[in-house]
Amino acid sequence: MAKPAYWDRACGELGQADPVIGAIIARCGDAHLVSRGDPFVTLARSIVGQQISVKAAQSVWSRLEASAREVTPERLVRMRAPTLRRCGLSDRKVQYVRDLARRFRDGSVDPAQWGTLADEEIVEQLIQVRGVGRWTAEMFLIFNLQRPDVLPLDDLGVLRAVARHYGEGEDPQPPLTGAAGRQLRATAQAIGERWRPWRTVATWYLWRSLDPVPVEY
């Protein structure tokens, strides 16, 4: 898969701006961010996979693909709730995927607009979908749209990496609530200012510093 056009430039500038990120980049070799899937399928899979294991999510998705024959907004809108439940979706996730499908079909979520919208405008559009929160929207910006300057401050991996590389080296434990969580997010946000306009790239390498297997979404 082709790397984003900005990737090499971003790596060079990040290495100059932040020696910590520069060292992580140097250790990671040629791996880079890749984008997979169309927007609707990517978001539908993110809903299917919420709060279950990767293996279980793949099993549910495979049954959904087999039942729908093609996972599209038009097809999912027509599928009855009992059919979706037989694929392994909970009642709540049935509501979520049908809401997503309706919004794609009626144009309230419109990928054709996204090229002219800022990141935050896309986030605001996506979080209107039931079951899509800010974290999911930010993962979509990173992995599907490959927007270059996204810093997901609610992502545990990002916060763990910041604590490890810029703090005292101890991993924070979820849930990250209260004063400690707020402080860690504030620290990550402040450090992230030196990574602009390539915070997506820095985020991706922070994940790599915790797990060498590239994340796909």
Ordered structural domains, the chain, with CATH: 7-34+150-210 (1.10.1670.40), 39-143 (1.10.340.30)
Regions of the chain where pLDDT drops below 50: none
How confident is the model at residue 37, as a pLDDT? Answer: 75
How confident is the model at residue 156, as a pLDDT? Answer: 85
How confident is the model at residue 175, as a pLDDT? Answer: 62
Q: What is the mean pLDDT of the chain?
A: 91
How confident is the model at residue 89, as a pLDDT? Answer: 96
Q: For the chain, what is the radius of gyration of the CA atoms?
A: 18
How confident is the model at residue 214, as a pLDDT? Answer: 66
Token pair 């880079």: residue: 32
How confident is the model at residue 1, as a pLDDT? Answer: 65
Task: Using a pLDDT cut of 70, give the percent of the chain over it.
Answer: 92
Region for residue 68 given its phi and psi (left: phi exceeds 0; alpha: psi -120 to 50; beta: otherwise) = alpha
Give the start-end residues of each E strand in 64-112.
none
Please name which of 130, 125, 124 lies closest in space to residue 47, comparing C-alpha atoms: 130
The model's pLDDT over 55-75, given as tens digits with 9 standing for 90+, comes to 888 899 999 999 999 999 999
- Give how far Cα 167 sits from Cα of 160, 164, 180, 194, Å: 10, 6, 13, 16
How confident is the model at residue 211, as a pLDDT? Answer: 80
Task: Using a pLDDT cut of 90, give the percent of the chain over it.
Answer: 73
How confident is the model at residue 2, as a pLDDT? Answer: 82
How confident is the model at residue 176, as a pLDDT? Answer: 67
How confident is the model at residue 169, as a pLDDT? Answer: 65
How confident is the model at residue 108, as a pLDDT? Answer: 92
How confident is the model at residue 178, as a pLDDT? Answer: 74
Residue 162: Cβ-neighbour burial (10 angstroms; 0-12, 13-18, 19+): buried
